Amino acid sequence: MTTTYSAPGKIYLFGEHAVVYGKRAVASAINLRTVATVRESNQTRITSSLGTTGIDYMVHPYISRCIESLSVPEVSVMIDSDIPVGSGLGSSAAAVIATLGALNSEFGLGMTRAEIAEVGHAIEREVQGAASPTDTFVSTMGGTIMITPGGLSPVSAKLRLIDCDIVIGDTREFSSTKELVGNVGVLHERYPTVMNPVFDIIDSFAEVGVPLIENGDYRGVGELMNINHGLLDSIGVGSAKLSALVYAARDAGAWGAKITGAGGGGCIVALADEAAADSVVQAIADSGGHAIATSASEEGVAAR
């Protein structure tokens, strides 16, 4: 039998990095998905844009860990994705969750969605070192979600789905989440008195921002995203390219724009109304970024 599942990537409206320290984050699934097709086989094979391997922790660490952690029989897994890798859009989480969904169904493992999210989070932690549950949780559940990490399973609140245009600007520079989380960790260890208040302010975006999201006040959400961008820059995860795309999007009429994900390279996200979205796409392209116009998605991991 062949089983195919897909799972979405995500953007952060607020809270990346601080969420690793237990602070609240708000993220949304988007209409860019990763598809995993699995089939019981006489030999374990993993195929993706990176090539074909067996269990291989250098080339396919996440998928290798999915197969080993579920202790399934020999299997072939094929990954096909619209989500740029290492871009801050949750490509690894989407691949993990789509693969776990497909393996769960192919081998009748009976895992619930909450269990898939939990196993997915454990896999990200094992491969990456520190990882919050955000990417794997949002990819499993879909929608726009406020997440409070902590304990075995995160506390989450499903919010009104963001229903404005979302424009992503990709610097096309690879960003290593592990490395960036590590760099922030060094600053936190060196200057806890400085870094903890920054994380507390980032936490407050959830409190102030959630009612704005619920009211569809994207102008307000955008203003908070702009402040969040400044704080991400302040903790060393910005770059001249990321800021160029952020300012290009804002100057073209976006309500707000910020780094999304780990930063360093990777992507920015801008919110815009329909009238401004094309100009934002153009401005990002003119500034040397790869622009992707997308929207939020209510659909989490699903058979396909």
Write out the catalytic residue numbers. 135
Reported as type and span, the H/E element at residue 87 is: none
Q: Which residues of 164-179 are buried (b: 16+ CB within 10 A; e: fewer)?
A: bbbbbbbbeeebebee
How far apart CA 304 and CA 290 sit, in angstroms, is 28
For the chain, what is the largest distance between any 2 Cα atoms, rounded to a whole number of angstroms? Answer: 56
The CB-of-213 to ligand MEV minimum distance in angstroms stands at 19
DSSP assignment letter at 21: G
Nearer CB in complex with ligand MEV: 232/254:
232
* Residue ranges that bind ligand MEV, judged by CB under 6 A: 16-17, 19-20, 88, 131-132, 134-135, 177, 181, 261-262
Question: What are φ and ψ of residue 37, in 5° steps?
Answer: -115, 125
Nearer CB in complex with ligand MEV: 20/257:
20
The CB-of-90 to ligand MEV minimum distance in angstroms stands at 6
The CB-of-263 to ligand MEV minimum distance in angstroms stands at 7
Nearer CB in complex with ligand MEV: 17/60:
17
Nearer CB in complex with ligand MEV: 195/252:
195
The CB-of-16 to ligand MEV minimum distance in angstroms stands at 4
Residue nearest to ligand MEV (CB): 132
Cα 184 to Cα 10, 91, 263, 267, distances in angstroms: 21, 21, 11, 18
